[in-house]
């Protein structure tokens, strides 16, 4: 019995890599599996027919092993070679070889820090995967995210509903612009006034719940419940009632957390995501969320509503569009409101509260400002006075700068066949996935200085033009501040989020004296900040509340 011919097999593996896998099979797991099983079989059949080798179990086994080894060798050599289209961009060797590494980093929750370190080491353009670049200069924002920028990349492919209707955030530009009109109506100032009533009701309920506990409480849990209840009211006219239950009774908050870790990890390796999709129970959590959305949307349709909630706008109940949106699309977008609007806002409030408690100077200033704008006994939820809360606004900006709730965001793609694009003055070849991470820009002293890594709200005050140190100028590049992303696909709910944050902080501080629990480990809490697309502190934020 002859063994397979290594040189021939090596040539066959290189040819199949360059002619087939590199061009056609990169994103389709099913096709890749068929090719991986089929191609060595073709080689064996050919070699046997030519009488070069005699088929046997051992020969077949060796042939398959050698083929896979040679194929891996060919792929790695190509990715490291000067022939690769991203060869001129610097980056760690392991990232050039495989995106399994960055997927592992994402799984650890340290993606944001890793990217920041890479940019400090390699500069504005870093190759973070075989076909992925991270761009850390403000000059790239308009080219990538602005009007006429780049379409969304593989991250969004991995999260979109393959069979059913797509939500706003994964639509191609033209469809997106049409659907975004509904969202823009649902988020204009008239709509926000409607939602204020809903926020007030839930914020009041939150305060009542908080006043029932006198021991330390994990305020993150309650902020999450507030946020889910409110977004449920706004999108579907109700449905969660987590504040009432005092627990995550349907497991929705937990489902979202699991989904975010799994989704953010596998988004870096699309074929892995597809492979996992073949395992029956893995799509369960997302399906449960969609089913939940469908259930509460159906109830909303049956019961109707006297309020102009988001559903009213997403289904175009006012009849302003030429074509009526499909109910399924509205369900998908209502579910997106929950995905995009609940935990992001709750986490922003939690981090702001922590930063105010971390250094009492800030807390004292915010309290003094609230007390000066609202005279004793006045309703602190009178939002018409919020423009006077300039220090609070500065604290919110500074929180969103240091701890952006979406720290690194998803990729955009230079389309295959487009001939490439110039981004921030550099030519980027077609097929490249590009990441512009808010966390990277926000922590760059070129754009925010001094105290780049510290909470310094004064940087946002117009009155602070210098740093207090002679010769040291304040640097504040507003263009580099993108917690809500930028351009036509920026955050549809940014004004709503700011409104919620201000209302909750004003109400909380006007009703309670807040302090961190005894022996609270501040450093450990901050260190538990993880990036799973939406940020999360994995440790509880234990505070003690005393009614004022
Ligand atoms: C502090 C809170 C929030 C932050 C930091 C935030 C941040 C972001 C970011 C960075 C994006 C772009 C994501 C991407 O490119 O894939 C985004 C998109 C989006 N956000 Fe927010 N968001 C917040 C709150 C909200 C709220 C309260 C809502 C409303 C329910 C909302 C609704 C949306 C929607 C619908 C999109 C998709 C927009 C589109 O694709 O056109 N967000 N958000």
Ligand 1 centroid distance, CA of 329 (Å): 18
Ligand 1 centroid distance, CA of 341 (Å): 6
Ligand 1 site, residue 344, Cβ cutoff 6 A: yes
What is the DSSP code string of 269-307? SHHHHHHHHTSGGGGHHHHHHHHHHHHHHHHHHHH--SS
* Two structure tokens written together for 408: 């690194």
Q: Which is more confident, 212 or 402?
A: 402
Nearest-5° angle of CA 526, CA 532, CA 534?
80
% residues pLDDT > 70 (the chain): 94
% residues pLDDT > 90 (the chain): 67
pLDDT (average), residues 10-15: 92
Q: Ligand 1: which residue has its CA nearest to atom 19?
A: 491
Q: Ligand 1: which residue has its CA nearest to atom 26?
A: 341
Ligand 1 centroid distance, CA of 461 (Å): 25
DSSP-assigned letter for residue 253 = H
Binding annotation for heme: 491
* Two structure tokens written together for 231: 């977004």
Ligand 1 site, residue 436, Cβ cutoff 6 A: no
Ligand 1 centroid distance, CA of 491 (Å): 4
Ligand 1 site, residue 409, Cβ cutoff 6 A: yes
Segment 330-346, tens digit of pLDDT: 888 988 898 899 999 99
Please say if the pLDDT value at position 132 is more than 90: yes
Ligand 1 centroid distance, CA of 336 (Å): 9
pLDDT (average), residues 191-210: 96
Q: Which is more confident, 169 or 469?
A: 169
Contact 187, 492 (CB under 8 A): yes
Ligand 1 site, residue 489, Cβ cutoff 6 A: yes
Which residue from 112, 141, 174, 493 has its CB within 8 A of the most atoms of ligand 1, so it is best to mutate? 493
Beta-carbon contacts of 416 under 8 Å, excluding residues fewer than 6 positions away, are 430, 431
Strand partners, 537: 529
Ligand 1 site, residue 337, Cβ cutoff 6 A: yes
Q: Which residue has the tokens 């506990």?
A: 213
The distance of Cα 349 from the centroid of its chain, to the nearest Å, equals 17
Torsion of CA 389, 393, 395, 399, to 10 degrees: 150
Ligand 1 centroid distance, CA of 350 (Å): 17
Ligand 1 centroid distance, CA of 420 (Å): 28
Ligand 1 site, residue 345, Cβ cutoff 6 A: yes
Beta-carbon contacts of 170 under 8 Å, excluding residues fewer than 6 positions away, are 152, 156, 157, 159, 160
From the list 525, 504, 543, 545, the residue with the least C-alpha distance to 348 is 504
Ligand 1 centroid distance, CA of 229 (Å): 17
Q: Which residue has the tokens 């799994």?
A: 262
Please say if the pLDDT value at position 140 is more than 50: yes
For the CA of 400, the nearest atom of ligand 1? 5
Segment 466-520, tens digit of pLDDT: 666 666 788 999 999 999 999 999 999 999 999 999 999 999 999 999 999 999 9
Ligand 1 site, residue 332, Cβ cutoff 6 A: no
For the CA of 235, the nearest atom of ligand 1? 30
Question: Which of the residue ranges 50-59, 67-76, 370-379 would you say has the lowest mean pLDDT?
Answer: 50-59
What is the pLDDT at residue 52? 78
Ligand 1 site, residue 484, Cβ cutoff 6 A: yes
Alpha helices in 24-129 (DSSP H): 29-49, 57-80, 93-97, 100-108, 111-122
Segment 271-330, tens digit of pLDDT: 776 666 665 555 666 677 777 777 887 787 777 777 889 999 999 988 999 888 888 888
What is the pLDDT at residue 447? 97
Other beta carbons within 10 angstroms of residue 261's beta carbon come to 16
Q: How confident is the model at residue 33 (pLDDT cuts 50, 70, 90)?
A: confident
Ligand 1 centroid distance, CA of 310 (Å): 15
For the CA of 337, the nearest atom of ligand 1? 30
Binding annotation: 491
Question: Which of the residue ranges 123-132, 315-324, 456-465 would you say has the lowest mean pLDDT?
Answer: 456-465
Q: Which is more confident, 268 or 109?
A: 109
What is the DSSP code string of 57-80? HHHHHHHHHHHHHHHHHHHHHHHH
Ligand 1 site, residue 348, Cβ cutoff 6 A: yes
Nearest-5° angle of CA 167, CA 140, CA 349?
55
From the list 316, 339, 341, 315, the residue with the least C-alpha distance to 329 is 315
What are the percentages of helix, strand and coil residues in the chain, rounded to 5? 60, 10, 35
Ligand 1 centroid distance, CA of 294 (Å): 21
Q: Is the pTM of this model over 0.90?
A: yes
Segment 55-101, tens digit of pLDDT: 888 889 989 999 999 999 999 999 999 999 999 999 999 999 999 99
How far apart are the C-alpha atoms of 539 and 527, rounded to whole Å? 9
For the CA of 180, the nearest atom of ligand 1? 41
What is the pLDDT at residue 1? 43
Nearest-5° angle of CA 263, CA 267, CA 270?
125
How far apart are the C-alpha atoms of 365 and 455, rounded to whole Å? 14
What is the pLDDT at residue 277? 63
pLDDT (average), residues 181-191: 96
For the CA of 488, the nearest atom of ligand 1? 41
Ligand 1 site, residue 149, Cβ cutoff 6 A: no
Ligand 1 centroid distance, CA of 168 (Å): 11
How far apart are the C-alpha atoms of 126 and 119, rounded to whole Å? 7
What is the pLDDT at residue 297? 77
Which residue from 146, 149, 340, 535 has its CB within 8 A of the most atoms of ligand 1, so it is best to mutate? 340
Ligand 1 site, residue 169, Cβ cutoff 6 A: yes
Half-sphere exposure of 408 (CA within 13 A, CB side): 28
Please say if the pLDDT value at position 25 is more than 90: no
Q: Ligand 1: which residue has its CA nearest to atom 9?
A: 484
Ligand 1 site, residue 493, Cβ cutoff 6 A: yes
């Amino acid at each position: 019995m002859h063994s397979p011919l290594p040189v021939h097999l090596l040539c066959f593996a290189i040819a199949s890599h360059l002619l087939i896998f590199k061009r056609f099979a990169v994103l389709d797991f099913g096709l890749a599996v068929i090719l991986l099983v089929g191609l060595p079989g073709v080689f064996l059949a050919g070699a046997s027919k030519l009488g070069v080798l005699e088929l046997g179990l051992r020969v077949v086994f060796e042939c398959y092993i050698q083929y896979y080894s040679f194929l891996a060798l060919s792929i790695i050599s190509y990715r490291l070679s000067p022939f690769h289209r991203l060869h001129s961009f610097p980056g760690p060797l392991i990232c050039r070889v495989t995106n399994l590494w960055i997927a592992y980093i994402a799984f650890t929750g340290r993606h944001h820090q890793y990217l920041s370190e890479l940019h400090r080491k390699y500069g504005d353009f870093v190759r973070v995967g075989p076909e992925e670049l991270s761009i850390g200069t403000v000059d790239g924002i308009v080219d990538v995210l602005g009007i006429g920028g780049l379409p969304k990349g593989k991250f969004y492919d991995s999260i979109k509903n393959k069979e059913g209707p797509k939500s706003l955030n994964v639509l191609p530009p033209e469809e997106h612009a049409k659907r975004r009109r509904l969202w823009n109506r649902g988020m204009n100032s008239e709509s926000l006034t409607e939602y204020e009533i809903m926020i007030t009701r839930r914020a009041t309920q939150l305060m009542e719940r908080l006043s029932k506990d006198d021991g330390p409480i994990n305020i993150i849990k309650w902020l999450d419940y507030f946020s889910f209840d409110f977004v449920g009211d706004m999108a579907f006219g109700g449905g969660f009632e987590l504040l009432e239950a005092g627990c995550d009774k349907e497991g929705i908050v937990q489902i979202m957390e699991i989904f975010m870790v799994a989704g953010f990890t596998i988004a870096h390796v699309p074929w892995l995501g597809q492979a996992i999709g073949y395992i029956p129970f893995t799509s369960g959590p997302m399906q449960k969320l969609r089913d939940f959305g469908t259930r509460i949307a159906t109830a909303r349709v049956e019961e109707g509503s006297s309020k102009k909630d988001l559903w009213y706008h997403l289904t175009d109940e006012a009849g302003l569009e030429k074509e009526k949106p499909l109910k399924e699309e509205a369900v998908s977008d209502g579910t997106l409101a929950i995905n995009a609007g609940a935990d992001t806002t709750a986490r922003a409030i939690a981090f702001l509260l922590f930063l105010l408690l971390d250094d009492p100077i800030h807390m004292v200033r915010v309290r003094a400002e609230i007390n000066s704008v609202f005279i004793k006994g006045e309703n602190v939820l009178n939002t018409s006075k919020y423009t006077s809360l300039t220090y609070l606004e500065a604290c919110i900006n500074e929180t969103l700068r240091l701890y952006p709730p979406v720290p690194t965001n998803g990729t955009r793609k230079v389309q295959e066949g487009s001939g490439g694009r110039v981004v921030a003055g550099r030519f980027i070849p077609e097929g490249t996935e590009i990441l512009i991470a808010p966390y990277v820009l926000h922590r760059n002293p070129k754009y925010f200085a001094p105290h780049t890594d510290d909470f310094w709200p004064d940087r946002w005050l117009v009155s602070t033009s210098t740093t207090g140190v002679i010769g040291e100028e304040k640097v504040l590049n507003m263009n580099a501040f993108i917690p809500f992303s930028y351009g036509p696909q920026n955050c549809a709910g940014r004004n709503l989020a700011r409104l919620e944050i201000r209302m909750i902080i004003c109400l909380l501080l006007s009703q309670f004296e807040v302090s961190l629990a005894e022996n609270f480990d501040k450093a450990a809490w901050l260190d538990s900040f993880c990036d799973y697309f939406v940020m999360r502190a994995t440790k509880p934020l234990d505070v003690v509340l005393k009614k004022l």
